[in-house]
Structure 1
Amino acid sequence: MQSTLPPSATPCPPIAPPPTLTAAPTPKDYAPGTPQADLPTATLRIITACRTVTLKVQIASTGPQQEQGLMGRTDMPQDEGMLFDFGRDDAGDTFWMKNTPTPLSIAFISADQRIVTLDEMAAFDDQTFHASNGPYRYAVEANAGFFTRYGVKVGDRVEIVKQ
């Protein structure tokens, strides 16, 4: 994970270690899926008040890709995630964790590439629906605690560098 300090910024608190997570019980009807392969990729640069954090992401831009998301993925490197590109501002879609064994963090990002909402999502929780507090064009899922760990806040800017 690359983290750099902008020249004009004050020093940030140290980056916290990844959280230790308790595994969620596996539902009886859970059947592991196959993680999506061959999706386009990008690098996200999240510019906070005192550092730039990078995250490698797969891009889900079609309905079927977005519906599957990270379902069935049992682990994910700390510096990876998935970017959902809706191609338009949308405040109506929600996210859930059906068949998702890995707890995740989510950031909703506006068309002008500012974070509008941050949330945490528990593994296998198909009862809670996670929504943005405002219009968004993108959502990015990363490992649980990722955004908190790096001090990412609502209003931080995101740059999407497609490969």
Structure 2
Amino acid sequence: MRRKLSGWLFCLALLGGLVTAHATTHLERMVLDLGGERFELEYAADPDDRRQGLMGRKRLPGGTGMLFDFPTGTQPAIWMRNMVISLDLVYIDDSGVIARIFPEVPPCPAMPCEIYHAQKALRFVLEVPAGTAQRLGLAVGQKLDLGALTDRPPPRR
């Protein structure tokens, strides 16, 4: 009986690991040059992926991040609920121009959480490790080369 229970617990743990791995690795990945450095970004373009974002991640290595792509007319609003790490939030318009930067945004351990709003409709939000925007010299008005991404139509939902 004990061996059978151990086998079931092992299977549940394995399944849990697969589900967690899927939740963090199924996203399309892209490589972009930001401030002269290569970044490998996860691309979140559907509502579930945007909602999950980097929530629950214990670390975000340098040279990595997540790029959120929003439908036309969206005024992005990001919060840090259920986050463990601090991030830089870079809001970018549909042509790749930085519209706003929220540097070193801390996690929100308890409600109410601050919401980081765009001032206007924007297409992208880039999340990178805290301190990255300053280190790379990113600034409002700067145009980022998003490659063929700006040629893709925005998500429909």
Q: Work out which of the two has the higher radius of gyration on C-alpha atoms and give 1 or 2.
A: 2
Give the equivalent residue in structure 2 for 1:97: 80
Instruction: Tell me the CA shift for residue 156 of structure 1.
Output: 1.1
- Name the SS of the counterpart of 2:133 in structure 1: helix
Q: Which 5+ residue runs of structure 1 have no aligned equivalent?
A: 1-32
The total of aligned residue pairs comes to 126
Match of 2:137 among 136, 151, 156: 151
- Taking CA–CA contacts closer than 8 Å with sequence separation of 6 or more, which of the two structures ends up with the larger relative contact order? 1
- Name the SS of the counterpart of 1:136 in structure 2: coil
Instruction: Tell me the CA shift for residue 56 of structure 1.
Output: 1.3
Q: Which 5+ residue runs of structure 2 have no aligned equivalent?
A: 1-18, 150-157
Give the equivalent residue in structure 1 for 2:58: 74
User: What is the TM-score of this pair, normalised by structure 1?
Assistant: 0.70
Q: Does 1:41 align with 2:25?
A: no
For 1:107 and 1:133, the matched residues in 2 are separated by 13
Assess, with a 3 A threshold, how the Cα gap between structure 1 residues 140 and 60 changes in structure 2: closer, same or farther: same
Give the residue type in structure 2 aligned to 1:147.
Answer: A
Instruction: Work out whether residues 43 and 56 of structure 1, in 8 Å CA contact, stay in contact via their aligned partners in 2.
Output: yes
Give every structure 1 segment of 4 or more consecutive aligned residues whose post-TM-superposition deviation is greater than 6 Å: none
Q: Deviations over 1:65-100 (max 9, x none)?
A: 000000010011110000001142422x31001111
- Name the SS of the counterpart of 2:58 in structure 1: coil
Instruction: Tell me the CA shift for residue 52 of structure 1.
Output: 2.6
- Percent identity of the aligned residues? 25
Give the equivalent residue in structure 2 for 1:119: 102
- Structure with the higher fraction of residues in helix conformation: 2
Over the residues paired in the alignment, what is the CA RMSD in angstroms? 2.1
For 1:83 and 1:95, the matched residues in 2 are separated by 13
